[in-house]
Structure 1
Amino acid sequence: MKKHTISTLKSIKGKEPIVMITAYDALFARLFEEYADIILVGDSLNMSFLGKSDTLSTTLDQMIYHTNAVCNGAKKSFVVCDMPYGTYIDKKEALKNAIKIYQETKADAVKIEGGVEKAETIKYLTQNGIAVMGHIGLLPQFVRAEGGYKIKGKNEAEIENLLKDAKAIEDAGAFCIVIEGVKSEAAKIVTKHVNIPVIGIGAGKDTDGQVLVWSDMLGFFEEFKPKFVKQYLNGAELVKEAIKKYADEVKNKEFPSEEYEY
């Protein structure tokens, strides 16, 4: 599959659904590359990779480390690096950290959570050569401030706020928007009202594409399963079965057999 650019991603809005998946290392990025239009190095790695309870303690250096690994594994993929909590508290701080990501990785873009209140920051970044993917709706980096993961778009006022956020991000120069944890009808309305691709996660089928965390969709993350996640593989059980078989064979002196000896 030919690598996407910002222009090609914009051009397929409404014509071809965009496939996005997270990855944190070269091994899985290489496996995903053939089928994913975009690979997101998400700060979700703090939970699924490091075992933390939320994304808030992710550091910029961690994101750079994992983005480099993903870029090494999927050299032809369009790679987006999440900017972690606290790295874009104002536009100058955001630019400094985004430049660090660009200089130290081959990421094609960064992702920032927030709507109207982050529009000035997004504009500042795009004016300085940084490609930005926006993120509205349920914002994982705001989980403590909001007292949990709150679904958005449940009434007209919330839909209006989502529209304002999406338009502000688009006007600021973002090339794409992730919309998370919103009512399906709200996501459909937002998608129709902006000219850039809208990629949903827990937002129904009427967006321009979908994104899932790889360890959720492949059944490796066992702590909990969000309602919107479809598991395409029972990964954890398959791995456990294989490890048990290996362990049993080692205990019983069945492995290595002569076949595996020099």
Structure 2
Amino acid sequence: MSHYTIHPIVLGTKVFDKGMMTYQHGYGTPFTIPIYAWLIKGASKNILVDTGEAHPVVSEDRERAIGGKIYTFEEGLAKHGLKPEDIDIVLHTHLHSDHCENDYKCTNAKFYVHEKELHNIHNPHPLDFRYLEDHIEEIEANGQIVVLKTDIEILPGIRMVRTPAHTRGGMSVIVDTAVGSFMICGFCTILENLYPPAEVKAMEMEVIPPGTNTNAKKAYNILVRAKTMADYLLPLHEPKYAAVEQIPANIEEAAIKREAVAVPS
């Protein structure tokens, strides 16, 4: 079995109302989320999940809020001895701008993207203001995009599965490690979405859908199902990983063991 490691790299932040993450909960609470690229090590190729923001705001306040350092794309890769042109594969969870702004810098990479994300970025609904096709025009023109229609194994022990809770073409990435499988969730959430506080559980809710979702009830069901698909879950914007250099390592601090839950029909 292939055993990989996952390395979160903070490539930006957003400061907004917490309810943008936790549907129907947390409104009025200021919240800062990190924007990550996730470097997967252990393969013969250099693999990233998403590419983050091109021009991140770097400030002491924001770094204090997430508990970690914010990097430019080049700085974040340099920590691992890499340059943008060294990236061989980019696995896109989705194509909202904060997940793909550095794509054009990865001149030698193949980009794995679900077909519904490509449709959405070229034909966005007015509500889908997070899509901006400028970010992928160059890699598209260069023939660097691999269009996905189904779940796929990228390499032994690394697979992409469709989880359209946040966007119609959202893909999660499941990575096998020495201690079990980790899912880099393809929907924009924090740990609280997947493991709600007691007051939410008291309402007989197992999860909280993403604040931005394709359909709240369907998103709820997808999040519940996701908790059965891997041993550990890594929500896409959880601040707890901003100071984590490698996963698995200090797993109890970096992720939460899946719970046995019923999957709604």
Q: TM-score, normalised by structure 1?
A: 0.31
Q: Flag the structure with larger Rg.
A: 1
- Structure with greater strand percent: 2
